């Protein structure tokens, strides 16, 4: 079995010499991952089940028009796909295709539903948004039944900004400071802090609102103002920001800290010049996600601030409206025009969250290669 | 060298007192001492703030519990004017809504997590992970609007269909006649079912994100072993990824359960408050602790406020227990052990 | 299209439990015509995969195989025939594409999203990359043992051995199952050590035992070729020796292609050898290939001579 063996073209001493007569061009092949059977089974089942359900649909009472049709079609498609595959393939292939279809179906439902929510809000809000006064006026003196060319949400937008600004001013230093404490100083007390922080992320936002309502408004007699709402938002945001910052600091490679200390730097210098700059993108992401959460939560502000109609930039003595609160009051009013305004404000809220989110993505991407 | 003469047998050597750890003075620079003090102060402030919330809630529960005793947990009606207060109905409602939410969110989160983690190409995957994170950031009021205006008309028909075909199960029953020609649509509106669907959309991105993270940590060696044996993609997922990610699947679902219990605005917008202990989510009328607080805080006297705070405290404790269990399950799993 | 002078696979019966069973799965034969016009009827025809005809080792042949990761070319026109019932060793210094070439042979290379390849890989004269071939079927016929042992930790030892059967949907009767497990573990040289421990989890063994378990797992599905990617590099010398003994025993039934850094190992176990090299910055390729004895004692290329005499690598 030894001497008679040949290795194909190994009589050529090296493959690096260009081939004498070019056998085939050395270009990558296009690999087709699916067999014709894969493709035909899929499309055949899709079309076939659709036709079948279409035929039967006139005989079965639809329970909800299009939705029912789609559900039945999907079920029939799965059955047909599995059946067709089973006719010529082993059970593993049948299961693989079936589960692939189910998994993809679930994912499409999720993303489709998200799309409907976004599109629905946008579509219903367009009516109000197309009036420029929507962004420049407040609702002072505007009746809910007034035409959409009157009134706007500038007071709610500004209110949201001010409230979230105050909340961030409070929670950002506290949250990051606590995270720095937990990670850079450590010790048994730090472990207690971490436990409490994690526990408080379970606090429902409505209970945070109720806490502020009881303490500030009822007990201390502070009236329902912007500052109370800001405090409620801050209470809700603080554990989230502290915990996210803690995670970000924890996953930072310890080797960087060690390198800095080995160079003779103090702990404070290490934190300020090595740790914080390294985790800055992660912290920014955590902060912005916390802001998005704070801006969008209605329950804290529901209890602590009033759905005022006039523009107010002073958080200390008078009620201050905010976007989610405006939406809430508007859609519950029952007046179609007011509801339309509510949707407009909801659309503004969504765009705001989307912008914050895109900023997060940009910041997170800057992490690579910019150091 | 002088010889050592030992006349007596060698005595036992005295204990070596020189080989013990020495105290080390860290020799902190002055700025570090300041830094440590400052950091510790911030930590203590945060601890104080958060701890005081918990303490306050607990403290406020004392008058309520001492007044109503165990009936606070068994009484279903909430009529402060008659001095009848109980959270049994709202607790049942809270769990019903959360259960519906979980039943819908769990399979959707699992399938989309498997899809993103195992079936999507890498460019699509990055996009979809961002989409999931964005979905988590969508304000709850948006889902409340979606649920009330867009979903409810369709969901009423779905509830009716369920009632007609599976209504013999008490869970799916509604006390109205489903077979009449003009069946009462309003009996299916404003139910825990519809609220549950809206809440499920809110909590499923959280569960999906945890699952995606955990699936991504399944060791590549085992994946290649399965594929190298000729396994299909689903075979590999079932044999390697899902068992590995079991902790994340359960933990993520429990986290979303915790969030579902506390969800307020979507529920408030959709349901019509009712204080019966019933396990019929398709039927009109239900209430949750969060919705109760949101609905009743305005007109509450101080004793009622204390009762609401007690209800809130109970909700907080339940959510805390679930979150803690979830964290433990994730940490104990194979993926948690790797972190 | 066969090369002149190749030894045809020896014709002897493998009495494996698998061939005694009636196949409960119908697998389409890989007789896919090279033309692109494949009729639907040909595909849907039920042709039970005739294991009896394919038992025993298969011959692998690589023709003009080039490989890329993105735009980075890592293999340049590799031509190699790996004959049946023999052990072919791929030797060469690190980073010259041996492992990449191995992974091309059982279609694991394309798992990397940016991976591309050119050329053909013929298993028994059929291109495994031809459109219409099932990847899972190819990988069943060409098995792989990896550098780092990767038993499934949540499964018992017994379940690990039969994992390949389960993943391929091959049903085994209960009595046959235990015989199959014993046989696979015996072929891998592990049976005596673990026969009382079959219910223990797969991760509870030493490194060498884990690797032999992985070998047993691959053998249980009766592949025609077994690819081994530096299987002993993470093992101690005793385990290495056991694995080498296993390789030399199984070559009667399975063609083995082994990538190894260890020249002495290559000299010990292989009949054929291919020396891979990548000059600075250029894609890797085969410098010289031939009988092991000839490569080691009388290499034709000076670079081969330098390598086998330890002057570099």
What confidence score (pLDDT) does residue B87 get? 86
Taking 60 as the threshold, does the pLDDT of residue A4 lie above it? no
> Where do the H-state alpha helices sit in B167-288?
192-215, 220-228, 233-236, 242-244, 246-262, 265-270
- Per-residue pLDDT for C163 more than 60? yes
What is residue C22's predicted lDDT score, i.e. its pLDDT? 34
User: How many whole angstroms separate alpha carbon B196 and alpha carbon B204?
Assistant: 12
Residues A48-74 have a mean pLDDT of 77
pLDDT band for position A271 (cuts 50, 70, 90) = confident
CATH code at B175?
1.10.3720.10
Average pLDDT, chain C: 80
Lowest mean pLDDT among A140-144, B57-61, B70-74, B305-309: A140-144
Pairing of strands C225-229, C255-259: parallel
pLDDT value at A93 more than 90:
no
Distance CA A228, CA A214 (A): 11
| Full 3-state SS string of chain A | CCCCCCCCCCCCCCCCCCCCCCCCCCCCCCCCCCCHHHHHHHHHHHHHHHHHHHHHHCCCCCCCHHHHHHHHHHHHHHHHHHHHHHCCCCHHHHHHHHHHHHHHHHHHHHHHHHHHHHHHHHHHHHHHHCCCHHHHCCCCCCCCCCCCCCCCCHHHHHHHHHHHHHHHHHHHHHHHHHHHHHHHHCCHHHHHHHHHHHHHCCCCHHHHHHHHHHHHHHHCCCCCCHHHHHHHHHHHHHHHHHHHHHHHHHCCCHHHHHHHHHCCCCHHHHHHHHHHHHHHHHHHHHHHHHHHHHHHCCHHHHHHCCCCCCCCCCCCCCCCCCHHHHHHHHHHCCCHHHHHHHHHHHHHHHHHHHHHHHHHHHHHHHCCCCC
| Alpha-carbon gap, residue C188 to B200, rounded angstroms | 51
Name the strands in the sheet holding C225-229, side by side, starting at the edge strand that comes first in the sequence.
C142-145, C225-229, C255-259, C87-91, C272-277, C285-291
Q: What is the pLDDT of residues B119-139, one digit of tens each?
A: 998 889 999 998 998 899 899
CA dihedral B9, B10, B11, B15 (to 10 degrees): -170
For B198-233, the pLDDT digits (tens) are: 999 999 999 999 999 999 999 999 999 999 999 999
Q: Does B312 touch chain A (CB under 8 A)?
A: yes
pLDDT tens-place string over residues B3-40: 555 455 555 666 666 677 777 777 777 888 889 999 99
Query: How many domains is chain B built from?
Result: 1
Same domain, A73 and A165: no
Instruction: Tell whether A168 and A302 lie within a shared domain.
Output: yes
Confidence class for position C38, pLDDT limits 50, 70, 90: very low
Per 3-state DSSP, what percentage of chain B is helix, strand, and coil (rounded to 5)?
70, 0, 25
Q: Which of A216, A326, A5 is nearest to B141 (CA)?
A: A326
Mean of pLDDT values over A156-170? 90
Q: Are C109 and A37 in contact (CB under 8 A)?
A: no
CA C306 to the chain's CA centroid: 28
What digits encode the pLDDT tens for the residues B156-193? Answer: 888 888 888 888 888 888 777 777 777 777 878 888 89
User: How open is the CA angle C120-C123-C125, to the nearest 5 degrees?
Assistant: 80
Out of B222, B228, B240, name the one closest to residue C144 (CB): B228
User: How far is residue B310's CA from residue A214's CA, in Å, rounded to a whole number?
Assistant: 12
Q: Tell me the average pLDDT across B303-321.
A: 90
Question: DSSP string spanning B43-92?
Answer: HHHHHHHHHHHHHHHHHHHHHHHHHHTTHHHH---EEGGGTEE--HHHHH
pLDDT higher than threshold 90 for residue A175: yes
Helices first, then strands: H and E counts in chain B = 15, 2
Distances (CA, A) of B339 to B328, B334, C243: 13, 9, 33
pLDDT at position A21 is 55
Dihedral of the alpha carbons of C237, C239, C244, C249, in degrees to the nearest 10: 150
CATH of residue A319: 1.10.3720.10
Query: In terms of domains, do A89 and A219 share one?
Result: no
Q: Is residue A24 part of a domain?
A: no
B64 located within any domain: no
Query: Contact at 8 Å (CB) between A133 and A151?
Result: yes
Report B:204-243 residues touching C (Cβ under 8 A): 219, 221-222, 224-232, 235-236, 239-240, 243
Q: Are residues A206 and A343 in the same domain?
A: yes
Alpha-carbon distance B311 to B292, whole Å?
9
Task: Pick A181's closest partner by Cβ from B39, B53, B233.
Answer: B39
The nearest CA of chain A is from the CA of C71 a distance in Å of 10
Report if residue B174 sits inside a domain: yes
Asked if residue B28 belongs to a domain, the reply is: no
Rounded CA gap, A14 and A12, in Å? 6
Q: Is residue B54 part of a domain?
A: no
The rounded mean pLDDT for chain A is 83
CB contact under 8 A, B302 and A110: no
Per the structure block, which two tokens stand in for C109? 């290379």
The interface predicted TM-score of the complex, written ipTM, equals 0.85
- Cα–Cα distance measured from residue A299 to residue A272, given in angstroms and rounded to the nearest whole number: 37
Residue B163 · residue B258 · CB < 8 Å: no
Say whether both A197 and A300 belong to one domain: yes
Counting Cα atoms < 13 Å in the Cβ hemisphere of A23 gives: 14
In the three-class reduction of DSSP (H, G, I as helix; E, B as strand; rest coil), residue C27 is classed as coil
Q: What digits encode the pLDDT tens for the residues C175-188? A: 889 999 999 999 88
pLDDT surpassing 50 at residue C153: yes
Residues on chain C touching B245 (C-beta within 8 angstroms): none
CATH number given to C59-308: 3.40.50.300
CB-based contact B256:B204 (threshold 8 Å): yes
pLDDT beyond 50 at A214: yes
Compare A66 and A304 and report the one with higher pLDDT. Answer: A304
Task: Indicate the pLDDT class of residue C94, thresholds 50, 70 and 90.
Answer: confident
Residue A21 lies in a domain: no
Specify the pLDDT at position C30: 36
Same domain, A70 and A168: no
Instruction: Clarify whether residues A309 and A179 are in a common domain.
Output: yes
pLDDT value, residue C55: 58
- Between helix B192-215 and helix B88-114 the angle, nearest 10°, is 40
In a domain, B81, yes or no: yes
B225–C214: do the CB atoms touch at under 8 Å? yes
Mutate to test the interface with C, among B119, B126, B219, B225 (most CBs of C within 10 A): B225
Q: Is residue A287 included in any domain, yes or no?
A: yes
Domain that holds residue A238: 154-366
Write the pLDDT tens digit of every residue in A107-123. 999 999 999 999 999 99
Q: Report the 3 state secondary structure along C262-274.
A: CHHHHHHHCCEEE
Same domain, A191 and A115: no
Tokens of A125: 């809000």
CA proximity to B131, closest of B146, B120, B147: B120
**Neighbouring C-beta atoms of residue A266, cutoff 10 Å:** 17
Structural domain span for residue B155: 71-338
Q: Check CB contact of C64 with chain A, cutoff 8 Å.
A: yes
In a domain, B27, yes or no: no
Q: Which residue has the tokens 């399979």?
A: B107
* Mean residue pLDDT across chain B: 86
Q: Please state, in angstroms and rounded to a whole number, the distance separating the CA atoms of residues B323 and B256.
A: 9
Query: Are A124 and A241 in the same domain?
Result: no
Does any domain span residue A270?
A: yes
A6 falls within a domain = no
A371 is a domain residue: no
Interface mutation target, options C69, C81, C170, C301, chain A, most CBs of A under 10 Å = C81
Whether residue A118 sits in one domain with residue A162: no
> Looking at the 3D structure of chain A, how many domains does it have?
2
Pair (A118, A241) in one structural domain: no
Segment A62-84 shows an average pLDDT of 82
What is the per-residue pLDDT across C188-227, written as a single tens digit (0 to 9) for each?
888 998 989 899 887 788 888 999 999 999 999 999 999 9
CA distances from B48 to A130, A220, A329, B228, C312 (A): 48, 19, 35, 56, 66
The minimum CA-CA distance between C177 and chain A, rounded to whole Å, is: 19
Band of pLDDT at residue C170, cut at 50, 70 and 90: confident
Cβ pair B221:C150 closer than 8 A: yes
For residue C19, the model assigns a pLDDT of 33
Chain B residue closest in CA terms to C147:
B221
User: In whole angstroms, what separates CA B123 from the centre of its chain?
Assistant: 30
């Amino acid at each position: 079995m030894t001497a008679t063996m040949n290795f194909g073209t190994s009589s050529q001493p090296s493959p690096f010499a260009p081939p004498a007569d070019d056998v085939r061009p050395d270009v990558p092949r296009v690999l087709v991952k699916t067999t014709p059977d894969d493709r035909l089974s899929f499309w055949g089942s899709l079309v076939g089940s659709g036709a079948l359900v279409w035929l039967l649909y006139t005989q079965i009472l639809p329970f909800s028009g299009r939705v029912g049709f789609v559900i039945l079609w999907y079920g029939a498609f799965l059955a047909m796909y599995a059946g067709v595959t089973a006719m010529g393939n082993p059970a593993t292939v049948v299961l693989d295709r079936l589960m692939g279809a189910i998994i993809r179906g679930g994912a499409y439902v999720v993303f489709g539903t998200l799309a409907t929510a976004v599109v629905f809000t946008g579509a219903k809000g367009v009516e109000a948004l197309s009036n420029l006064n929507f962004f420049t006026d407040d609702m002072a003196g505007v009746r809910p039944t007034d035409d959409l060319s009157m009134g706007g949400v500038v007071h709610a937008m500004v209110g949201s900004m001010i409230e979230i600004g105050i909340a961030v001013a409070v929670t950002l230093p506290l949250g990051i400071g606590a995270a720095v404490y937990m990670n850079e100083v450590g010790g048994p007390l730090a472990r207690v802090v971490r436990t409490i922080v994690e526990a408080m992320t379970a606090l429902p936002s409505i209970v945070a609102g109720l806490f502020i309502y009881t303490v500030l408004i009822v007990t201390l007699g502070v009236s329902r103002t912007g500052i109370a709402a800001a405090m409620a938002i801050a209470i809700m945001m603080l554990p989230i920001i502290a915990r996210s910052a803690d995670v970000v600091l924890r996953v930072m490679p310890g080797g960087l800290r060690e390198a800095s200390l080995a160079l003779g730097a103090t702990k404070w210098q290490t934190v300020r010049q090595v740790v914080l700059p390294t985790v800055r993108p992660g912290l920014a992401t955590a902060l912005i996600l916390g802001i998005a959460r704070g801006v969008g939560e209605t329950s804290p502000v529901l209890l602590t601030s009033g759905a005022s109609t006039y523009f107010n930039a002073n958080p200390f003595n008078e009620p201050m409206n905010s976007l989610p609160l405006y939406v809430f009051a508007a859609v519950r009013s029952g007046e179609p025009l007011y509801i339309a305004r509510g949707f407009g404000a909801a659309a503004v809220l969504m765009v705001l969250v989307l912008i914050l989110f895109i900023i997060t993505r940009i910041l997170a991407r800057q992490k690579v290669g910019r150091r | 060298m002088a010889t050592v003469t030992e006349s007596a047998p060698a005595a036992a050597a005295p204990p070596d007192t020189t080989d013990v750890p020495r105290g080390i003075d860290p020799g902190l620079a002055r700025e570090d001492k300041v830094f440590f003090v400052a950091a510790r102060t911030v930590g203590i402030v945060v601890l104080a703030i958060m701890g005081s919330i918990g303490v306050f809630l607990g403290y406020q529960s004392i008058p309520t519990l001492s007044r109503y005793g165990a009936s606070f947990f068994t009484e279903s009606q909430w009529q402060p004017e008659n001095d009848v207060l109980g959270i049994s109905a709202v607790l049942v409602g809270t769990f019903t809504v959360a259960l519906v939410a979980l039943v819908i969110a769990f399979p959707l989160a699992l399938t989309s997590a498997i899809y993103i983690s195992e079936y999507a190409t890498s460019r699509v995957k990055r996009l979809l992970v961002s989409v999931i994170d964005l979905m988590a950031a969508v304000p709850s009021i948006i889902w409340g609007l979606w649920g009330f205006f867009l979903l409810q008309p369709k969901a009423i028909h779905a509830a009716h269909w369920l009632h007609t075909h599976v209504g013999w199960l008490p869970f799916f029953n509604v006390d109205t006649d489903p077979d009449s020609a003009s069946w009462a649509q309003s009996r299916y509106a404003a139910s825990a079912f519809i609220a549950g669907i809206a809440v499920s959309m809110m909590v499923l991105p959280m569960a999906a994100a945890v699952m995606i993270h955990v699936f991504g940590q399944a060791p590549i060696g085992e994946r290649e072993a399965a594929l190298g044996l000729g396994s299909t993609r689903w075979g590999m997922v079932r044999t390697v990824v899902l068992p590995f990610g079991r902790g994340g699947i359960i933990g993520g679902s429990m986290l979303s359960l915790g969030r579902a219990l506390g969800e307020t605005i979507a529920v408030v917008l959709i349901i019509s408050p009712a204080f019966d202990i019933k396990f019929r989510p398709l039927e009109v009328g239900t209430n949750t602790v969060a919705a109760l607080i949101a609905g009743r805080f305005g007109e509450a006297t101080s004793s009622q406020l204390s009762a609401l705070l007690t209800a809130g405290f109970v909700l907080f404790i339940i959510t805390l227990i679930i979150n803690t269990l979830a964290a433990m399950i994730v940490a104990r799993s194979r993926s948690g052990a790797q972190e | 299209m066969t090369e002149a002078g190749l030894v045809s696979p020896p014709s002897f019966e493998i009495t494996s439990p698998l061939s005694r069973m009636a196949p409960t799965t119908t697998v389409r034969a890989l007789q896919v015509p090279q033309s692109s016009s494949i009729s639907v009827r040909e595909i849907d025809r039920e042709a039970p995969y005739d294991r009896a005809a394919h038992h025993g080792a298969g011959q692998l042949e690589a023709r003009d195989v080039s490989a890329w990761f993105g735009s980075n070319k890592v293999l340049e026109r590799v031509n190699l025939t790996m004959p049946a019932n023999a052990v072919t060793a791929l030797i060469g210094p690190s980073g010259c594409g041996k492992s990449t070439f191995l992974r091309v042979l059982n279609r694991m290379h394309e798992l990397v999203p940016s991976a591309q390849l050119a050329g053909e890989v013929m298993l028994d004269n059929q291109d495994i990359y031809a459109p219409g071939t099932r990847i899972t079927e190819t990988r069943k016929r060409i098995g792989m043992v990896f550098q780092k042992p990767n038993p499934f930790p949540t499964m018992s030892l017994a379940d690990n051995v039969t994992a390949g059967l389960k993943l391929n949907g091959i049903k085994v009767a209960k009595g046959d199952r235990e015989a199959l497990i014993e046989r696979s573990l015996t072929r891998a040289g592990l049976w005596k050590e673990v026969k009382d421990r079959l219910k223990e989890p797969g991760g509870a063994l030493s490194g060498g035992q884990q690797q032999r378990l992985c070998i047993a797992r691959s053998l249980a599905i009766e592949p025609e070729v077994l690819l081994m990617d530096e299987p002993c590099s993470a093992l101690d010398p005793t385990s290495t020796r056991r694995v080498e003994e296993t390789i030399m025993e199984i070559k009667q039934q399975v063609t083995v292609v082994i990538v190894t850094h260890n020249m002495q190992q290559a000299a010990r176990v292989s009949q054929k050898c291919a020396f891979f090299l990548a000059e600075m910055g250029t894609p890797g390729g085969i410098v010289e290939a031939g009988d092991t004895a000839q490569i080691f004692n009388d290499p034709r290329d000076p670079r081969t001579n330098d390598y086998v005499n330890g002057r570099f690598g």
